[in-house]
Amino acid sequence: MLRKGITLAALGLALIGGAAQASTHAKEPMEVDWSFDGPFGKFDKEQLQRGYKVYREVCSACHSMNLVYFRNLGQPGGPFYDPKYPNPNDNPYVKALAKDIQVKDIDSETGDEIQRPATSADHFPAPFPNEAAARASNGGALPPDLSVIAKAREGGPSYIHSLLAGYVNPPAGLTMSPTQHYNPYFPGDLTSAWSGKGHAPPGGFLAMPPPLTDNKVTFDDGTKSTVDQQAKDVAAFLMWAAEPKMEERKRFGFGAMIYLLIFTGLLYASYRRIWRNVAH
């Protein structure tokens, strides 16, 4: 039976391996020890708070997060969750964070477009009114929405961290326009832009200039604000934004696994007992 189990597992692995991607010409993301790795991993609340600050002060100038609502910040597993406020809409911290931000609305009396302070029921406002405006302000490139970006890129948060912290000067021999920026972690193929010796360098060009610098964001908890720290924190925040129910999922999964293991054990014992007198 063990042999059969191994055969099954090998077959499963081989099938999963089949889905593996063809290699891109980019560097593998740097290894990061995330607090949310593994079956018992949890988000580091302070890291999420720092990451939110990086998003709010840096990323949100160009990137929308249309699927994330201010109330999400106060939900269990979120950066500003407070067990005193099971309903995140009552969380004073969340309300205060929302109030600082202006969102567009329609005046119900006059029908005019107005600006008002956000409430916990609003989603994060987008920096540009539409795609054309976003492209016009960014040299023709569209800054992607970041709501689920950590699930929409191979490598997830580690890739985001590497991309943000991994900008280097382009090697000599790489032809690029002034609106392009070289990053060894960005997927692409630089063969046509390469006039140097040997193989083209790994990575690609992207329109986003290096967004982070040391001390660009002041962390309220006193954490040293290096580029690497900011990149890690915002990557963790984006992972939470993409998978806000991850902690609930893993907690539920633990219970489900215990239940299934006991159930399986009982079934196996019943199986042995029922079949004990049958030669087979």
In the complex, which residues of this chain contact another protein (CB under 8 A)? 1, 4, 8, 11-12, 14-24, 39, 66-67, 72, 144, 147-149, 151-154, 156, 187, 242, 244-245, 248-250, 252-254, 256-257, 260-261, 263-264, 267-268, 270-271, 274-275, 278-280
CA distance 164 to 228: 8
How many helices (DSSP H) and strands (DSSP E) are in the chain?
Answer: 7, 4
CA distance 128 to 116: 17
**Residue bearing tokens 């709501």:** 147
Which lies closer to another protein via its Cβ, residue 136 or residue 142? 142
Rounded CA-CA distance 60/245 in Å is 23
- Least distance in Å: CB of 4 to another protein? 6
For 50-76, b where at least 16 C-beta lie within 10 A, e where not — what string? bbbbbbbebbbebbbbeebbbbbbbbe
CB nearer another protein, residue 98 or residue 150: 150
- Type of residue found at 59: C
Q: How would you label 160-181 residue by residue, b for 16+ Cβ within 10 Å and e otherwise? A: bbbbbbbbeebeeebeeeeebb
- Complex with another protein: residue 104 or 249, whichever CB lies closer: 249
The smaller minimum CB distance to another protein, of residues 220 and 248, is found at 248
- How near is the Cβ of 111 to another protein at its closest, in Å? 24
> What's the min distance (Å) between Cβ of 27 and another protein?
16
Q: State the nearest-atom distance from the C-beta of 75 to another protein, in Å.
A: 9
Whichever of 98 and 239 has its CB closer to another protein, that residue is: 239
Structure tokens at 229: 């720290």
**Nearest residue (CB) to another protein, 61 versus 256:** 256
Tell me which residue has tokens 């997830």.
156
The least distance separating another protein from the CB of residue 225, rounded to whole angstroms, comes to 30
For residue 255, what are its two tokens?
């219970």
Distance (Å, rounded) from C-alpha 208 to C-alpha 52?
20
Q: How far is the CB of 133 from another protein (least distance, A)?
A: 17
User: Closest CB to another protein among 27 and 250?
Assistant: 250
Cross-strand bridge partners of residue 1: none
Q: How far is the CB of 187 from another protein (least distance, A)?
A: 7
